[in-house]
Amino acid sequence: MKTVLSAPRRAVRGRGEGAEARIVRSIGEAIADRRLAPGTKLAEESLAEVFGVSRERVRKVLLLLAQRRVVTLIPNRGAFVAKPTAREAREVFEARRVIERAVVEALDRNPRPLPDEMSAKLRAHLAREEEADRAGDRMSLIRLSGQFHLLLADFAGNATLAGILADLIDRSSLAIAAFERRSSHSCSATEHRRFVEALESGPPGAAMRLMMEHLDEVERQLDLDARSDGAVDLKSVFADRT
Amino acid sequence: MKTVLSAPRRAVRGRGEGAEARIVRSIGEAIADRRLAPGTKLAEESLAEVFGVSRERVRKVLLLLAQRRVVTLIPNRGAFVAKPTAREAREVFEARRVIERAVVEALDRNPRPLPDEMSAKLRAHLAREEEADRAGDRMSLIRLSGQFHLLLADFAGNATLAGILADLIDRSSLAIAAFERRSSHSCSATEHRRFVEALESGPPGAAMRLMMEHLDEVERQLDLDARSDGAVDLKSVFADRT
DNA sequence: CTGGTCCGTTTTGTGCACAATTCGTGGCGA
DNA sequence: TCGCCACGAATTGTGCACAAAACGGACCAG
């Protein structure tokens, strides 16, 4: 019997079983962090070179990401960072409200005060968000903001639901990247803190209201008017130009 | 310019662009219909032969199905029809309650009477279910039962949420296949009819209550005790045997 | 009869080569 | 100058061959 159970033969960088998962995470995070804008082409060869793996492996990864709707696969054209339509964006946020409502309901059923571990982790997370906010680290802030919602889902104890929400959060990031208004940004960190405080010591239902308002607020910061969707109306774009 | 836009070069059986989607559907339905029991091995070569395609294509299909948690991929061992744990089964049903609550809420916000098209489609579907029930066509009944819930989600107008629910319904089928009690079966068709009637002419909230009871009922027909999960306790199994 | 090891067969995993398609460029004619 | 066509380069799609691993049975020792 082999004595080594974990971390078997993984000497070569980029190889090994977990390589695909690593690349999926890597690309997924790059998209969530908005370092890859919607519509960006993801050429197989380039990615293969970047990650030091063969093209087929990249191909597999792209297929997985396409399944999660974070990448769009166009036959004979290649893979592109998904560019959600306004309708899809609205649907994603609606879906999030549906799921997160259930999450918060479950959390709000916890006896007060909250379990120590939960409280501690939430507050630790808030601290990191606020730190990123102070430092002006916008990228970290975006990622942490998503992780906050995921953390809540984990506490709700339904891994299936949490997995679904994880996908929806990634797609939210895409929607935000695609439809964010130029000027705007209310601080998620602040709203998250208020939510946690309501969860810990607010009246029943207060946390829920804050969460719904938070999600509404995030969606409201997007420009989801019909014209943003599909083909742009060139006439109106150049209307008042000479 | 080519004159043929649809169905281009698809002469050879099994080829063409839509081949993968067809195979995914085919296998997915076989699983949902419980003609493929949980744990069944899905050998690549066999499937390739059955569907008349190359092995790599089958491989791709299996990867997609694995992503939907309807198939489990074990490295160097192959693909198997997923066998959910009791915990996962509970989570799936909980997730369905969360999503279907939202669906029914949306539907219940429709003005009475319901739009003609919706009402007609629902009643047509009920008729098909009852027909299958009378004919004792258990397989059709199972499939139609799932489609009923999906139909409701479609009417709710959120394709994203409907897509998520579609996955959950497939996984419900797996859970039922894995945990169904020997003796038991309340008729879904009857409960579906009552639900539609409540939606069409019942007081507000009645439809919701029926739907939640329906989902509870379906789950209650499963044997989700801890012992069914994971390794069986041989001691208790053979306790009163000589 | 139990337990273990070895080896052949079967099945899965991976890289490579080539086919097919698309896109960009340049030439040609009106 | 504009439009069209064709050709070439680059990129994606697919089959194939081989490598790697697991399964099953035979064989053997205790």
pLDDT for B196 equals 97
Report the C-alpha gap between A98 and A90 in whole angstroms.
12
Which residue range is the domain that position B166 belongs to?
Answer: 86-226
- Nucleotide with minimal C1' distance from the CA of B57 is D14
DSSP A222: B
**Where does the pLDDT of residue A138 fall: very low under 50, low under 70, confident under 90, or very high at 90 and above?**
confident
Closest Cα partner for A26 from A73, A76, A61, A69?
A: A61
**Where does the pLDDT of residue A139 fall: very low under 50, low under 70, confident under 90, or very high at 90 and above?**
confident
Looking at the fold, whether B97 and B203 belong to one and the same domain comes out as yes
Looking at the fold, whether A126 and A160 belong to one and the same domain comes out as yes
Report the C-alpha gap between B198 and A150 in whole angstroms.
36
Residue finishing a domain among B81, B99, B130: B81
Give the CA angle between residues B177, B181, B183 to the nearest 5°: 125
* Of B33 and A185, more confident: B33
**Where does the pLDDT of residue A97 fall: very low under 50, low under 70, confident under 90, or very high at 90 and above?**
very high
Q: Residue B79's beta-bridge partner residues?
A: B42, B73
Residue type present at position A151: L
3-state secondary structure of B32: helix
pLDDT for A12 equals 41
Residue B74 contacts A where some CB pair is shorter than 8 Å: no
Closest Cα partner for B67 from A110, A163, A99, A134?
A: A163
Q: Give CB contacts under 8 A, 24+ apart, made by B195-199.
A: B196/B122, B196/B123, B196/B126, B199/B104, B199/B107, B199/B108, B199/B114, B199/B122
CATH number at residue A153: 1.20.120.530
CA of A2 to C1' of C3 (A): 18
Chain A interface disruption, residue of B87, B160, B169, B212, most A CBs within 10 A: B160
* Of B107 and A12, more confident: B107
**Residues A159-183, mean pLDDT to the nearest whole number:** 94
**Residues A157-186, mean pLDDT to the nearest whole number:** 91
Domain contains B187 = yes
Residue A225 has pLDDT above 70, yes or no: yes
The DSSP H or E segment spanning B89 is: helix B86-108
Cβ atoms of B175 and B93 closer than 8 Å:
yes
CA of B86 to C1' of D21 (A): 31
CATH number at residue B48: 1.10.10.10
CB count within 10 Å of CB B220 equals 14
Record: contact B159-A99, CB cut-off 8 A: no
Looking at the fold, whether B50 and B165 belong to one and the same domain comes out as no
Looking at the fold, whether A117 and A70 belong to one and the same domain comes out as no
Domain contains A101 = yes
A46-80: pLDDT as tens digits: 999 999 999 999 999 999 999 999 999 999 999 99
Q: What's the CA dihedral at B113, B115, B117, B122 to 10 degrees?
A: -50
pLDDT for B113 equals 79
* Residue B133: half-sphere exposure toward Cβ, Cα within 13 Å: 17
Domain contains B7 = no
Total structural domains in chain A? 2
Cβ atoms of A195 and A211 closer than 8 Å:
yes
Residue finishing a domain among A52, A81, A110: A81
**Residues A165-188, mean pLDDT to the nearest whole number:** 88
Looking at the fold, whether A25 and A127 belong to one and the same domain comes out as no
**Where does the pLDDT of residue A3 fall: very low under 50, low under 70, confident under 90, or very high at 90 and above?**
very low
Looking at the fold, whether B75 and B103 belong to one and the same domain comes out as no
CB-strand contact B73/C, under 7 Å: yes
Residue finishing a domain among A54, A81, A108: A81
**Where does the pLDDT of residue A4 fall: very low under 50, low under 70, confident under 90, or very high at 90 and above?**
very low
Domain contains A7 = no
3-state secondary structure of B115: coil
CB-strand contact B75/C, under 7 Å: yes
Looking at the fold, whether A117 and A50 belong to one and the same domain comes out as no
pLDDT for A241 equals 46
Report the C-alpha gap between A163 and B46 in whole angstroms.
32
Looking at the fold, whether A73 and A165 belong to one and the same domain comes out as no
CB-strand contact B77/D, under 7 Å: yes
DSSP B79: E
**Residues A130-147, mean pLDDT to the nearest whole number:** 92
Domain contains B114 = yes
pLDDT for B240 equals 53
Looking at the fold, whether A93 and A62 belong to one and the same domain comes out as no
Looking at the fold, whether B63 and B161 belong to one and the same domain comes out as no
**What residues of A are in contact with residue B24 (Cβ under 8 Å)?**
none
Domain contains B210 = yes
DSSP B222: B
Residue B20 contacts A where some CB pair is shorter than 8 Å: no
CA of A230 to C1' of D3 (A): 28
Based on C-alpha coordinates, what's the Rg of chain A? 21
Report the C-alpha gap between B29 and B143 in whole angstroms.
8
Domain contains A2 = no
Report the C-alpha gap between A188 and A207 in whole angstroms.
15
A193-222: pLDDT as tens digits: 999 999 999 898 999 999 999 999 999 999
pLDDT for A6 equals 31
Q: Residue A81's beta-bridge partner residues?
A: A71
Domain contains A12 = no
Closest Cα partner for A179 from A143, A147, A219?
A: A219
Looking at the fold, whether A168 and A138 belong to one and the same domain comes out as yes
Tokens representing B98? 């969360």
Mean per-residue pLDDT pooled into runs of 10, chain B (242 residues): 32 59 95 93 96 96 97 96 96 98 94 87 97 91 94 97 98 94 79 96 94 96 74 55 45
Looking at the fold, whether B122 and B152 belong to one and the same domain comes out as yes
Q: B81 CB contacts (<8 Å, ≥6 apart)?
A: B31, B36, B37, B38, B39, B40, B42, B70, B71, B72, B174
